[in-house]
Structure 1
Amino acid sequence: MNEVKRQLDQKMGHTKARSEKILQMVEQNKKTQRKKSPKLYYVAFATFAALLAVLLYMNPFETQAPTTSTPTPNESSEQTSLNLKNLFKQDGDVAYFVGMNNEYATFKETTTWLSDNYVKISVDNGAIETRKFYRITADAIYLVFEDMPEMQGNKVITLEYLDTLTPISTLLVADIENTTTINENNVTYPAELNIPLKKFNNVIEITNETENATMSFYYAEHFGLIGQISTFTDGLQIISLLTSINTEPAIELTLPVMNQATHEKEILTFEERIMFDPLSMYHPKFTDTTAIYTTLHQSEEHELGIIEINLPQQFTNLIVVRTGDLVKTISGDFREIVDWKLSPDQKHIAIYSSDGHDWQSEEYYQSDNLEIYHLEQLLEVKTYTDEELNLLHSTILSYHWVDHDTLEYVVPDVEEPSYPKLFVDWMHADNQPTKTLQIKFE
């Protein structure tokens, strides 16, 4: 056994155990980070998800004895045997997967056919490279060898060596229509998956469930792996989807939205990517009403609007300037927009965002946000308060315009506004003192 691999196994256990350990670390890390802002949460989460992404792709179906099961005879359909060689891409193909919710969910996959019965799949996610060797028979595809060359030494793998190996696990079987499980993982066929490359209908979906997450892997004939989605217990998903083969990926920054005023579906194009993931429209939970566009103010040439994207655990609002179907993002937030108010002279607009004030502990506390935009310049206005209070750490109870350039708002009267526990204690106290502050701008 390679010495590096022996040391890795000794420290972290075998692949399945490592995967479960990393999932537990991710889940614990997410609980810890909830008390912080969503932006900080995703930054801290990235480190753990990087390891997760590697381990999930390394061997999602590891088991001691590769097995499959079939439904009872009255549930079986007429058998259609797959040509399993078509479940891989062509020799030399380089496939590009674009990820959502974690930078390491984006990776490059290279397919190398070693013979009619063996194929090597190399994956590079920007952090580490993995390689897996498969044996293809008439009945099944078996994983027979896997490693991380940079960490375990770039061992030369020959066909003679592969012939001596006992399968680690079963990837797919030819009789897919009559198969309900592979390695105790659920099999769905046919399934559908919409990806940037195209929409697939006859997809094989293999789902692996653990205590902390459900991992789904999608395969299509002549394309092999086309997507993988990890769904955590709190609804957060890490998604990787096939975007292109043998050409650099080019994701159009477009988004289908429902216009709240006209109740019609529109396709908007972004000038640049700011707090917007172009894979959002391929999310399994994305529907015609997931992204809502609302006009706030309209002039002869442009309009100021809001795009709200509401996906499980992934709510985002974007303040945009729209010219026809082209939009430019000028601000974004993870909180929901509650309402907005125009200044008396109709030159500014104040937008109030909040996740609500029903939190029961410091862990779930989320501050509110109040931003002001100039309606002629279509820019966010730099503001200052009449005392040193960071609005990003405030709970805003009410607000209103005093005059053209002054906004007044009410907050809990606590000693340290940046300390969430004081807001939570104030929320549950019988006596809830408040204070009134003002926002000014030039």
Structure 2
Amino acid sequence: MKVRIISLFAVALLVGCTDQSSTTPQPNDPPSTETEPEIEEPQEMGPDLHTYFMPNQSIARFEGMGNEYATYTLETQYLYDDYIGTLEDNSGTVVQRIYRVEENRIVKIFEEAEAYEADFPPFNELESMPELETYLSLPLEEGTTFGGWTIEQVDGTLETPFQTFTDVIMLSQEGEDQSVIEKYFVEGFGEVKRVFRMPGGEGEEFEVTSTLQSVD
């Protein structure tokens, strides 16, 4: 009986050692080839360029200074997912414009004056329209250039008759005649101010401004 107990104990000890050697890495075991799965860091999304227009079906009024046609109303209509149309009425004419919002920029694809009874084209016509110019482009950072425009500021403050805006983006474009055009954009409203400057004689400067006054 004592011999049998010793034998059973030896077998149990042998089995235990075998199990331990199969689960515990030994000094001479080759390194494991399994690697930890890589975790992709979420990519930072740029701003939604759709928000750089006035709200859908809104009518914005701009106060003008320096020219009788600097005062105007702007009607904004969201036509399709990536197409936005505007009607700008300055009491002298009505200008119809259509924009296409792309992933990294906004392009103007249509512009026509004397659009007193304008209808916006159907979707299939909009798709075939070539771009006229880039209206706004990413990245919205100081120094970005496109189509003769340069982003000069992205964190400005602007007082208007409507309200005081912060985080204002200001673009400028200089003409061959030394004239300068500035545009001011605010997320959620789009273009809120427009400035035209022209040097005059004897150090004088001619300036025309259109500034947001109200939004309905």
Question: TM exceeds 0.5?
Answer: yes
Displacement of 1:243: 0.6
Of the candidates 53, 62, 67, which is equivalent to residue 102 of structure 1? 67
Of the candidates 122, 137, 143, which is equivalent to residue 108 of structure 2? 143
Q: Which one has more relative contact order, counting CA pairs under 8 Å at least 6 apart?
A: 2
How far apart are the structure 1 equivalents of 2:45 and 2:170? 17
Displacement of 1:201: 2.1
Displacement of 1:80: 6.8
| Greater alpha carbon shift after TM alignment, 172-181 vs 82-91 | 172-181
Q: 1:187 to 1:80 in 2, by over 3 A?
A: farther
Matched, 1:198 2:163: yes
Q: Deviations over 1:5-38 (max 9, x none)?
A: xxxxxxxxxxxxxxxxxxxxxxxxxxxxxxxxxx
How far apart are the structure 2 equivalents of 1:154 and 1:239? 26
Q: CA RMSD in A?
A: 1.9
Give the residue type in structure 1 aligned to 2:207: Q
Of the candidates 187, 196, 205, which is equivalent to residue 151 of structure 2? 187
Give the residue type in structure 2 aligned to 1:171: Y
Residues 80 and 177, structure 1, Cα contact 8 Å, conserved in 2: no
How far apart are the structure 2 equivalents of 1:133 and 1:156? 8
Larger radius of gyration: 2
- TM-score for the superposition, normalised by structure 1: 0.36
How far apart are the structure 2 equivalents of 1:164 and 1:125? 29
Displacement of 1:121: 1.1
Displacement of 1:149: 4.0
Q: Deviations over 1:345-388 (max 9, x none)?
A: xxxxxxxxxxxxxxxxxxxxxxxxxxxxxxxxxxxxxxxxxxxx
Larger helix proportion, structure 1 or 2?
Answer: 1
Q: Where does the alignment leave 5 or more consecutive residues of structure 2 unmatched? A: 1-43
How far apart are the structure 2 equivalents of 1:145 and 1:170? 12
Residues 85 and 120, structure 2, Cα contact 8 Å, conserved in 1: no
How far apart are the structure 2 equivalents of 1:217 and 1:141? 15
Residues 142 and 152, structure 2, Cα contact 8 Å, conserved in 1: no
Structure 1 equivalent of residue 129 of structure 2 = 165
Aligned residues: 167
Displacement of 1:212: 4.2
Equivalent residues in 2 for 1:214-229 (5 A)?
214-229=180-195
How far apart are the structure 2 equivalents of 1:129 and 1:175? 32
Equivalent residues in 2 for 1:38-437 (5 A)?
81-150=46-115, 154=118, 157-177=121-141, 180-190=144-154, 191-210=156-175, 211-234=177-200, 235-246=205-216
- TM-score for the superposition, normalised by structure 2: 0.72
How far apart are the structure 2 equivalents of 1:124 and 1:155? 15
How far apart are the structure 2 equivalents of 1:111 and 1:156? 12
Q: 1:155 to 1:96 in 2, by over 3 A?
A: closer
How far apart are the structure 2 equivalents of 1:178 and 1:103? 33
Residues 117 and 136, structure 1, Cα contact 8 Å, conserved in 2: yes
Q: Deviations over 1:179-226 (max 9, x none)?
A: 521212221231332211122221121111111411101111001110
Q: 1:187 to 1:85 in 2, by over 3 A?
A: same
Give the residue type in structure 2 aligned to 1:229: V
Give the residue type in structure 2 aligned to 1:245: V
Percent identical among aligned pairs is 25
